A and B are shown apart, each in its own frame.
Chain A
Amino acid sequence: MTEMVLTGPKQTLFTEQLRLALDKWIAKYPRGRAQSAVIPCLHILQEANGGWLSRAIMDALAEYLSISSISVYEVATFYSMFELEPVGKHKISLCTNISCMLCGSEEILEHLQQRLAIKPGETTADGLFTLKEVECLGACVGAPMLLMDKQYHEYLTKEKIDALIDEVQS
């Protein structure tokens, strides 16, 4: 999705389909507490917008929830799963926190960087991958691990990484 309708009164802020999805979350909280729905709403919007949140989208959400824009920015900047710049088609989030580090995440990172020819925080020239370094994703038991889009990949080795990337590229 590239174009979103983002101005005007609340009804026209988002497409009908998006509004339905947002409203479902808003309805879970008491009236006047729509702010509580900000995280799931951001997820929905991020997914609808090709993996990232523009300022206009965040402002529109603030208006939709009747909260101030900064309250949305606060959440969006706090959580590393929200992207504030355009990202590649697939987002690889490699954990480099303690357990993964002890199990060799540094080598994995090295390898990923080489294979994709990018550094953490960058996107490949073909727009296929974005690489990110993240903190513990709660899967220490399978360290080292990474998250690609919505899928965990554990017990990583260089071979596993190659296979993963090959699969996407083909």
Chain B
Amino acid sequence: MVNIEIDGIPLKVDSSKMIIQAADEAGIDIPRFCYHKKLSIAANCRMCLVEVDKSRKALPACATPVTEGMKVFTHSKVAINAQRSVMEFLLINHPLDCPICDQGGECELQDLSMGYGEGVSRFTEGKRVVKDKDIGPLIRTDMTRCIHCTRCVRFGVEIAGVKELGATGRGEHMEIGTYVEHSLVSELSGNIIDLCPVGALTSKPFRYKARAWEMKAHPSIAPHDAIGSNIELHVRQNDVMRVVPRDNESINEAWLSDRDRFSYQALAHPKRLTDPMIKVDDDWQVVDWQTALETAIKGLQTIINKHGAEEVGGLISPTTTLEEAFLFQKWLRGLGVENIDHRLRQQDFSDHPQQYPLDNWTLGDVQESDAIVLIGSHIRAEQPILAHRIRQAAMMGAAVSNINFFLTDLLMPIEYEMAVDINTMLTTLAGIAKVLSTLMNDSDNDDEWQALYPERTPTAFEQNVAMQLSNAASATLIVGDLANHHPDAAKIRALVHKIAELSGSRCIVVPSANSHAHVIANTLPGKEAKNSLQMWQQSLRAYVLMGFDALHDTAVPVIAKQALKRASFVVALHSFDSEFLRQTADVILPMACFTETSGTFVGIDKQWQQFAGAVAPRGDSRPAWKILRVLGNVSHVEGFDYISSQDVVDEVRQIQAERHDKPIPPYIPDSLTVESDLMMISEVPMYRTDALLRHSEALQKTPETQRIQFARINRKEAEKHGLNHQTPLTLTQQDSVVRLPLEIDDSIADGCVYVATTTDAASRLVSLFGQVSVSQSEAAT
């Protein structure tokens, strides 16, 4: 700690701080462009010049460390003169195009030039002009406006893990750009829009849509992944015009994934459902809410009376709120229905009700880990903010290893990695556990596990990973979606959990979206009741579907499709219309989207975050918790007189406090052998994870999304099956046959073929991660 004085205010600050940090903490404003609290110090804009006692000239506050007895003057004549001169230089080449610049009104340069700029320019020479670059569908560039602060460049290197933007040329000819035109690959790329202090990098979808001062900011929580990034919705009248991050050090820091930033576009999609509808003789009729709700209840009650409540299934998307989840199950349970589930893409329930609880940790702990192992996770796509935390750990020297069905560039240093099929994944995990159990001398007391470990000596990979984990002071294991959606997921989870136990690591089974809230709310099957997979496979007479597309968001698209077609009554609460929905549903209840409803999100770290609605629901649609409340009332289920969604939360909290779950003995698989010849890797593409995203225009245009149309297989498998990349691939799974263009890709594991889900073709397949046969005959359909 040192004593300094800024503008006469005495301060005690940490000696590692720069003047600007001390000033920021004390709320003293120093102008700046290149300095950003989350990026390294470049000190290249010189806007932050301040006068320091005993120094001959003004010093950059962002790059001058505080020292004992230092006296700083931010508004003295020397400081102001220096700042004015810098401003004059910065404005030399900056265009005077504020009226047509999207940054106008929230531009740091505009603001500071009000304070430090001259009214008239002394520069009479020609201004330089820089050609704009096309860096993809999300970010628009106007490079003439760039002031070379290099924040965007440093962001790439230090946060995104990939240097895509750089400064080419020099002096007058220096330009920020990619040099070779291409779309940015980072899933966090949108953050450079916020970082850019001027209008050089702006949001493409938001371009010319609104001015900063026309919009009102509403705090909210992003719904697409399990992080619950804090966001701010910028609303004009009743439209969400854009989404920006809201600082929260313990969650998303200052960042936001592109997925959370641009998904708002779907809110105004023409496919939004706006009116309650019922099907009368195969015709859809728009009706009032009362009629729709009564029809829904009558339909369900008829089935229940005739065939029993076991013939009804309730399925709900894990992106919905805690309140919605709770009311959904409360209503259905009130009707006697126990077939309830939110685990739509899960296929292996053998470890149910095991939740692998992990409390009392924060995302920051991941960043502090010194060993991290990813298992069955394409972490950049699944949880971009978590990937960023892992990357920060890796850059600080943590050993990150990756075991997955395919390998992609995680944009961070990786210690050990391996692309495996399911069998190798299981034996490798068992091998790691074996090494650890020998190390820990654990072999006497768990015969059941010992029997599962491979007999062979552990491979070098297994030993390395095991050593990493046991040597680490803080180790984290992360089980991702690809593992969790696999038909043998329970085996993977059990093994990873065992490894965590043996090595004293933290085991994080990544939930999808808000599923922690759903577990709390108990949208899970009751005793003896059916889970999501059984509900489809055993074809029920009636379904209540909430917030998802059966073709894209389930593990068994074709089976789900058949079950819905066969069912005699289907009630759908949804926000987006589709042909399939109209074909299969009998009542459609339009529900409000994220931003239009209040609710609670329980993220990966089990933090409860509440948010309010920011805009009114579209058309006649309603927040789902209100729809469910009325459904409860109309069906005369007890305890549905909530006034606000807060009442619901209070009730959930109370139930939670009263609940004493007995610890569940860990699930131990019977065997680790799995028959697999050629397995499909069914990844849910980053920008297709829920209905909202699938309707977001800009995200659908990204190269990532464009690429999902291809099936991918490695060279070795291609040779084995006699495939080439010129002819489309025919995939056969039981009766389903689909054709896809083929790409040879050596990052795919042996014995696997990558087929993204949520595409037209994938929705014609029987089950995700299923066995398939491949061929390339021209004659196939």
Interface residues of A (CB under 8 A from B): 55, 67-71, 73-74, 77-78
Are B179 and A77 in contact, CB atoms less than 8 angstroms apart?
yes
Are B163 and A71 in contact, CB atoms less than 8 angstroms apart?
yes
- By DSSP majority rule, is chain B's interface helix, strand, loop, or mixed? loop
- By DSSP majority rule, is chain A's interface helix, strand, loop, or mixed? helix
Q: Does B165 contact A (CB under 8 A)?
A: yes
Complex Cα distance A67/B164, Å? 11
With A55-B180, A77-B179 as contacts: A70 and B170 at CB distance below 8 Å: no
Q: Does B178 contact A (CB under 8 A)?
A: yes
Chain B 138-195 residues near chain A, CB threshold 8 A: 162-170, 178-180
With A69-B180, A70-B178, A73-B179 as contacts: A78 and B166 at CB distance below 8 Å: no
Are B169 and A71 in contact, CB atoms less than 8 angstroms apart?
no
Are B164 and A70 in contact, CB atoms less than 8 angstroms apart?
yes
Are A73 and B166 in contact, CB atoms less than 8 angstroms apart?
yes
Are A78 and B162 in contact, CB atoms less than 8 angstroms apart?
no
CB distance from A80 to the nearest CB of B (A): 9
**Chain B residue contacts of A55, Cβ below 8 A:** 180
Complex Cα distance A71/B180, Å? 12
CB distance from A125 to the nearest CB of B (A): 28
With A55-B180, A77-B179 as contacts: A70 and B163 at CB distance below 8 Å: yes
Cβ-closest chain A residue relative to B163: A68
Are B168 and A78 in contact, CB atoms less than 8 angstroms apart?
yes
18 intermolecular pairs with C-beta atoms under 8 Å apart: A55-B180, A68-B162, A68-B166, A69-B180, A70-B164, A70-B165, A70-B166, A70-B179, A71-B163, A71-B166, A73-B180, A74-B166, A74-B167, A77-B168, A77-B179, A78-B168, A78-B169, A78-B170
CB distance from A137 to the nearest CB of B (A): 16
CB distance from B16 to the nearest CB of A (A): 25
Q: Which of B163, B165, B169 contacts A77 (CB 8 A)?
A: B169
Cβ-closest chain A residue relative to B173: A77
Chain B, interface size: which category? 10 to 19
Cβ-closest chain B residue relative to A73: B179
Interface residues of B (CB under 8 A from A): 162-170, 178-180
Are A73 and B168 in contact, CB atoms less than 8 angstroms apart?
yes
Cβ-closest chain A residue relative to B170: A78
Complex Cα distance A73/B162, Å? 15
CB distance from B379 to the nearest CB of A (A): 21
CB distance from A35 to the nearest CB of B (A): 10
**Chain A residue contacts of B168, Cβ below 8 A:** 70, 73-74, 77-78
CB distance from B706 to the nearest CB of A (A): 22
**Chain B residue contacts of A70, Cβ below 8 A:** 163-166, 168, 178-179
**Chain A residue contacts of B167, Cβ below 8 A:** 74
A-B pair count, CB < 8 Å, reads 31
**Chain A residue contacts of B180, Cβ below 8 A:** 55, 69, 73
**Chain A residue contacts of B162, Cβ below 8 A:** 68
**Chain A residue contacts of B164, Cβ below 8 A:** 68, 70
**Chain A residue contacts of B169, Cβ below 8 A:** 77-78
CB distance from A82 to the nearest CB of B (A): 11
**Chain B residue contacts of A77, Cβ below 8 A:** 168-170, 179
**Chain B residue contacts of A67, Cβ below 8 A:** 163
Complex Cα distance A68/B161, Å? 10
What 19 additional pairs, Cβ within 8 angstroms, besides A69-B179, A77-B170, A77-B179? A55-B180, A67-B163, A68-B162, A68-B163, A68-B166, A69-B180, A70-B163, A70-B165, A70-B178, A70-B179, A71-B166, A73-B166, A73-B168, A73-B180, A74-B167, A74-B168, A77-B169, A78-B168, A78-B170
**Chain B residue contacts of A73, Cβ below 8 A:** 166, 168, 179-180
CB distance from B534 to the nearest CB of A (A): 49
Complex Cα distance A67/B167, Å? 15
Cβ-closest chain B residue relative to A67: B163
Complex Cα distance A83/B162, Å? 26
Cβ-closest chain B residue relative to A70: B166
**Chain B residue contacts of A74, Cβ below 8 A:** 166-168
- Chain B CB within 10 A, most for which of A70, A73, A77: A70
Cβ-closest chain A residue relative to B413: A32
- Chain A CB within 10 A, most for which of B162, B164, B166, B167: B166
CB distance from B67 to the nearest CB of A (A): 31
CB distance from A105 to the nearest CB of B (A): 19
Cβ-closest chain A residue relative to B178: A70
CB distance from B131 to the nearest CB of A (A): 14
Complex Cα distance A77/B179, Å? 10
Complex Cα distance A71/B178, Å? 10
Complex Cα distance A84/B164, Å? 20
CB distance from A73 to the nearest CB of B (A): 4
Cβ-closest chain A residue relative to B179: A73
Cβ-closest chain A residue relative to B157: A68
CB distance from A30 to the nearest CB of B (A): 15
Complex Cα distance A75/B552, Å? 47
Cβ-closest chain B residue relative to A77: B168
Complex Cα distance A74/B164, Å? 11
**Chain B residue contacts of A68, Cβ below 8 A:** 162-164, 166
Cβ-closest chain B residue relative to A62: B163
Complex Cα distance A91/B30, Å? 49
Cβ-closest chain A residue relative to B166: A70
**Chain A residue contacts of B170, Cβ below 8 A:** 77-78
Cβ-closest chain B residue relative to A59: B180
CB distance from B154 to the nearest CB of A (A): 13
Complex Cα distance A78/B170, Å? 5
Complex Cα distance A78/B172, Å? 11
Complex Cα distance A101/B133, Å? 37
Complex Cα distance A70/B170, Å? 14
List the 3 closest A-B pairs by CB distance, nearest first: A70-B166, A77-B168, A68-B163
Complex Cα distance A78/B166, Å? 11
CB distance from B394 to the nearest CB of A (A): 13
Complex Cα distance A70/B177, Å? 9
Complex Cα distance A68/B168, Å? 13
CB distance from A131 to the nearest CB of B (A): 19
Cβ-closest chain A residue relative to B177: A70
Complex Cα distance A87/B260, Å? 49
Complex Cα distance A69/B169, Å? 15
CB distance from A12 to the nearest CB of B (A): 16
Complex Cα distance A67/B157, Å? 11
- Chain B CB within 10 A, most for which of A67, A71, A73: A73
Complex Cα distance A67/B163, Å? 9
CB distance from A75 to the nearest CB of B (A): 9
Complex Cα distance A69/B179, Å? 9
CB distance from A57 to the nearest CB of B (A): 13
CB distance from B574 to the nearest CB of A (A): 43
Complex Cα distance A131/B109, Å? 40
Complex Cα distance A73/B165, Å? 11
Complex Cα distance A81/B31, Å? 38
Complex Cα distance A70/B178, Å? 7
Complex Cα distance A86/B117, Å? 45
Complex Cα distance A85/B163, Å? 24
Complex Cα distance A71/B166, Å? 7
Complex Cα distance A68/B185, Å? 13
Cβ-closest chain A residue relative to B162: A68
CB distance from B155 to the nearest CB of A (A): 13
Complex Cα distance A159/B146, Å? 47
CB distance from B174 to the nearest CB of A (A): 8
Cβ-closest chain A residue relative to B167: A74
**Chain A residue contacts of B179, Cβ below 8 A:** 69-70, 73, 77
Complex Cα distance A68/B162, Å? 8
**Chain A residue contacts of B163, Cβ below 8 A:** 67-68, 70-71
CB distance from A81 to the nearest CB of B (A): 12
Complex Cα distance A165/B462, Å? 68
CB distance from A70 to the nearest CB of B (A): 4
**Chain B residue contacts of A71, Cβ below 8 A:** 163, 166
Complex Cα distance A70/B180, Å? 8
CB distance from B369 to the nearest CB of A (A): 21
Complex Cα distance A74/B165, Å? 10
Cβ-closest chain B residue relative to A74: B166
Cβ-closest chain B residue relative to A68: B163
Cβ-closest chain A residue relative to B164: A70
Complex Cα distance A109/B179, Å? 31
Complex Cα distance A69/B178, Å? 9
